[in-house]
Amino acid sequence: DTGVSQNPRHKITKRGQNVTFRCDPISEHNRLYWYRQTLGQGPEFLTYFQNEAQLEKSRLLSDRFSAERPKGSFSTLEIQRTEQGDSAMYLCASSFYEDEQYFGPGTRLTVT
């Protein structure tokens, strides 16, 4: 069990550029969650997958955001036309159904 991994750990981009983050969950976990954490706040739910199906998306997830989990294993989160307000820590978590969610170290995005 190597835990949940996320890449990159840090990303600096200019406003208007597209960015993509990757999350590799714990191998036997069928659920994968994305959360966003801004400075001084707790994480906020963005979306989740069960296997390859995206089952719920938060209203926080604007049209510029898209997430995939093509084979029910790793997941990607893409942000198009980034804005300064997108600067945050993006956290991924995985679980086996409703069991405990294990979090990755996060990807810190800075939009300049």
Partner 1 sequence: AQSVTQLGSHVSVSEGALVLLRCNYSSSVPPYLFWYVQYPNQGLQLLLKYTSAATLVKGINGFEAEFKKSETSFHLTKPSAHMSDAAEYFCAVSPVVGANSKLTFGKGITLSVRP
Binding residues for partner 1, rule: CB under 8 A, are 4, 31, 33, 35, 40-45, 48, 50, 55-56, 91, 93, 95, 97-98, 100-106
Closest to partner 1 by CB, 66 or 108: 108
The dihedrals phi and psi of 22, each to the nearest 5 degrees, come to -120, 145
Under 8 Å between Cβ of 76 and 68: yes
CB of residue 66 to partner 1, shortest distance in Å? 19
**82 vs 22, 42, 44, 79, CA distance in Å?**
17, 22, 19, 6
Shortest Cβ distance from residue 24 to partner 1 (Å)? 13
CB of 28 vs partner 1, minimal distance in Å: 17
Using the minimum distance from each CB to partner 1, give the nearer residue, 80 or 102. 102
* Contact call for residues 24 and 43 (beta carbons, < 8 A): no
What gap in Å lies between CA 18 and CA 3, rounded to an integer? Answer: 27
Question: Residue 101 has what DSSP assignment?
Answer: P
Kindly state the smallest distance separating residue 72's Cβ from partner 1, in Å.
16
Tell me whether residue 104 or residue 109 sits nearer to partner 1 (CB atom). Answer: 104
